[in-house]
Each structure stands twice: as C-alpha cells, then as structure tokens.
Amino acid sequence: MKNIAIFVSGEGHATERVVKLFNEGNRVHTVLVVMDESSTDLPERLKEEDVTLLHVTEEDWKSHTQEIASLLKEKDVKLLVLDNFDLVIPDEIMETTAGEFIRVTSYEQAPREVVAALEAELRKPVEEIKTEENETEPDPTPESEWADALKIQFTPPKVPSTPPEIPAPEVSFNNPNFQENRNRNFEFSPFKEKREDTANEPMPSTYLIWSILVTIFCCFIPGIIAIIFSSMVSSKYYIGDIDGSRRASRQAEIWIIVSVVLGVLAATLYIPFMLIG
C-alpha cells in the first residue's frame, strides 16, 4: 500500500476522483487532503471517505507547516499530489516525501498521472529487488491479475536495468526560481518531461474488447494470448516503455487474427461434417 497526500485549491474534482478511485483498492490510499479557503464544498463531498481533511488559509499557512509535515511523516506519505494548489510549499513539507511530488493536469488524467509517478518511484535496483524477494510479496500487475482470472501461469518479466535516481527539487520560500515557477502555475514537476513525452505519443490500441470477443466466439487459446498482450499495452505505456507498448499491441492484433482464422476454419470444416452426418 502506497500512501499519498493531496494539496488542493478550488473545486477539487480531480482530488475527489483520485480519492474515491484509489481508496477502494489496496495499492494506493489517499491519507491526507490539505485545502485552502477556495475549496468550499470539497469536505462535504469527501465526508464518507477514509481520509484526513485539513483546511488552511493563506494567512495561517506558515503556522500549519510543522503540523502538516508531522502528519505526512506519521502517515508515511510517499508522494505529494498538487491539484491547482496556489500556496508555496515549504521545505519542511517537501522533505517529508524526499521531494517526490506531482501536479495533476486534469480530472481525466489525474489517476494515470498518479500511477505513473508511483511507478517511477517504485522502480528499484536489481540487487534491492532480489534482497526483498523473500521478504515481501510484489504488488499485482495487470498481467498477473489477468493470468489469475484466466487460471493460467504467468511469469513476470525481470528488471532489465537499474534506472537513474530522480533528483529531489529544491523548494524554498526565498528562492526566486520557485516564485517564478509558482506564477507559471507550478509547471516544474520532476515528472513533467515524462508526461509531455507520453502526451506527444498516443497509447497504441489495446484491442482488449476484440481479444475478449475472439476468445468467446472464435478460438480459446489464441484469444487468451491476445488478452494477455492487450493488458500489457497500457501498463508498458504508463511506465514510459512506448516501444514495448507498441510491440504488445502488435502481438495482440496478430493473435486476434490467428484466433479469427482458426475459428473460421473450424466452422467451415464443421458444417460439411454436419451435412454428411
């Protein structure tokens, strides 16, 4: 379980969606939502959710810095999410998440951006992963969940290399670069470059619906293989593996065609046998 905190200004529709979507699962949980005075009805919309709400104004923001930092440490927050948040983030708060934060861009993209940020934070060196293999069970992936649902064996791919460490940003009240970035509406997220690359490269087609249909109506085994490759398209895309996503999409398309062809051949041979019989 990875805990996140959200700092929000305004109506907070993206915040509401992230809280209600992730808090129903067992992988990501929103434990703290900090709102400014512009978030008037957000507490009412989140009153049924298991999340701590903190309402602060711009005047007393600095006086709450230590309180918020303590809450982040206490709740073991791994990622700070900014939803149109207009106030300056002090160093004490940023240090609690080791500089890991992201600014969500819209209601539709917010869950994907949070997942992409956490996937980047979860990448570890091969040696560290091997050390923890016998200690903790890895979180389920879309591929393993599909394999469990279809009752087939799935072996997760090995980590190919050690990713570079993401530098923590320097955030300060007196830093002129920070004030300039604040005026530009916080467009300096360490994940910005990755999101721009993903936005410029649309996700290949998953063919998931077609995979399910050919599994049911055509040929079962090639259909299952097509479903597995279909589920790999989005997971590879959101961790930045665009080439792998394209390959998975192409493989899904190939196995769909194979399933259709085998299904047509089977039907073609079955009808004459029925007529003869």
Cβ atoms of 84 and 107 within 8 Å: the answer is: no
Residue 224 is predicted with a pLDDT of 92
pLDDT band for position 170 (cuts 50, 70, 90) = low
Q: Percent of the chain, pLDDT > 70?
A: 72
Inter-CA distances, 238 with 101, 171, 235, Å: 17, 27, 5
How far apart, in whole angstroms, are the C-alpha atoms of residue 172 and residue 160?
37
List residues bridging with 54 in a β-sheet: 34
Alpha helices in the chain (DSSP H): 13-22, 42-45, 65-74, 91-96, 110-122, 126-132, 142-149, 176-183, 192-200, 208-217, 220-238, 242-276
Q: Which of 4, 162, 175, 161 is nearest to 81 (CA)?
A: 4
How far apart, in whole angstroms, are the C-alpha atoms of residue 103 and residue 187?
8
- What is the arithmetic mean of pLDDT over 88-117? 83
Q: Quickly count: other Cβ atoms within 10 Å of residue 252's Cβ.
A: 26
**Which of 57 and 249 is assigned the larger pLDDT?**
249
Residue 212 is predicted with a pLDDT of 92
Cβ atoms of 223 and 211 within 8 Å: the answer is: yes
- What is the arithmetic mean of pLDDT over 84-101? 81
20 pLDDT higher than 70: yes
117 pLDDT higher than 80: yes
* Lookup result for tokens 């200690």: 135
Q: Per residue in 190-245, pLDDT tens?
A: 434 444 445 567 888 889 898 899 899 888 888 899 899 999 998 888 888 889 98
Residue 125 is predicted with a pLDDT of 45
Q: Percent of the chain, pLDDT > 90?
A: 9
Q: Which of 29, 23, 5 is nearest to 82 (CA)?
A: 5
Residue 102 is predicted with a pLDDT of 87
Q: Per residue in 47-76, pLDDT tens?
A: 888 888 888 887 777 778 888 888 888 888
Residue 247 is predicted with a pLDDT of 92
**Which of 267 and 139 is assigned the larger pLDDT?**
267
pLDDT band for position 176 (cuts 50, 70, 90) = low
Mean pLDDT of the chain: 76
Residue 132 is predicted with a pLDDT of 44
How far apart, in whole angstroms, are the C-alpha atoms of residue 33 and residue 13?
13
The three-state DSSP-derived secondary structure of 44-105 is: HHCCCCCCEEEECCCCCCHHHHHHHHHHHHHCCEEEEEEECCCCCCCHHHHHHCCCCEEECC
Q: How many residues are listed for the chain in this entry?
A: 277
- pTM greater than 0.75 (yes/no): no
